Amino acid sequence: MRNPVSTSGVPTNTVTIVQYGTRQGHKSEVYLNWGIYGRPDEPIGMDYFVWLVETPTGTILVDTGFSREGGANRSRTFLAHPVKALAALGVDAATVPEVLVTHAHYDHIGNLDAFPTARVTISAAERDFWSSGMERRAQFHHSVEDAELETLRRIEAEGRLRTFDDELEIAPGVRMVRVGGHTPGQSIVLVDTAEGTVALASDAIHYYEEHDDDVPFAYVADLPAMYAGFDLLHAMVTDGRVQHLVSGHDPSTLDRFGRIADGPLPGLTARIG
Residues at the contact surface with Zn ion, assessed by CB under 5 A? 107, 203
Taking the least distance from each CB to Zn ion, the nearer of 55 and 183 is 183
Q: Please report how close the Cβ of residue 201 comes to Zn ion at its closest, in angstroms.
A: 11
Strands 119-123 and 98-100: parallel
Q: Which residues of 89-121 are buried (b: 16+ CB within 10 A; e: fewer)?
A: bebebeebebbbbbbbbbbbbbbbebbeebbbb
Q: Please report how close the Cβ of residue 219 comes to Zn ion at its closest, in angstroms.
A: 9
Taking the least distance from each CB to Zn ion, the nearer of 107 and 148 is 107
- Under DSSP, the state recorded for 181 is S
Which runs of consecutive H residues, i.e. helices, occur in the chain? 27-30, 68-72, 82-88, 106-109, 124-129, 138-141, 146-157, 208-213, 223-238, 253-257
Helix or strand (DSSP H, E) at 23: strand 14-26
Helix or strand (DSSP H, E) at 207: none
Q: Please report how close the Cβ of residue 195 comes to Zn ion at its closest, in angstroms.
A: 25
User: Taken in order 217, 221, 222, 225, is the CA torsion positive or negative?
Assistant: negative
Q: Please report how close the Cβ of residue 213 comes to Zn ion at its closest, in angstroms.
A: 19
Taking the least distance from each CB to Zn ion, the nearer of 219 and 227 is 219
As a whole number of angstroms, the distance between CA 219 and CA 254 comes to: 24
Q: Please report how close the Cβ of residue 76 comes to Zn ion at its closest, in angstroms.
A: 11
Q: Please report how close the Cβ of residue 170 comes to Zn ion at its closest, in angstroms.
A: 20
Nearest to 17 by CA among 262, 185, 241, 260: 260
Taking the least distance from each CB to Zn ion, the nearer of 127 and 206 is 206
Q: Please report how close the Cβ of residue 6 comes to Zn ion at its closest, in angstroms.
A: 31
Nearest to 191 by CA among 89, 52, 98, 87: 52
Taking the least distance from each CB to Zn ion, the nearer of 108 and 244 is 108
Helix or strand (DSSP H, E) at 167: strand 167-171
Q: Which amino acid is at 153?
A: R
Q: Are residues 253 and 246 in contact, defined by beta-carbon separation less than 8 angstroms?
A: yes
Taking the least distance from each CB to Zn ion, the nearer of 145 and 203 is 203
Taking the least distance from each CB to Zn ion, the nearer of 54 and 107 is 107
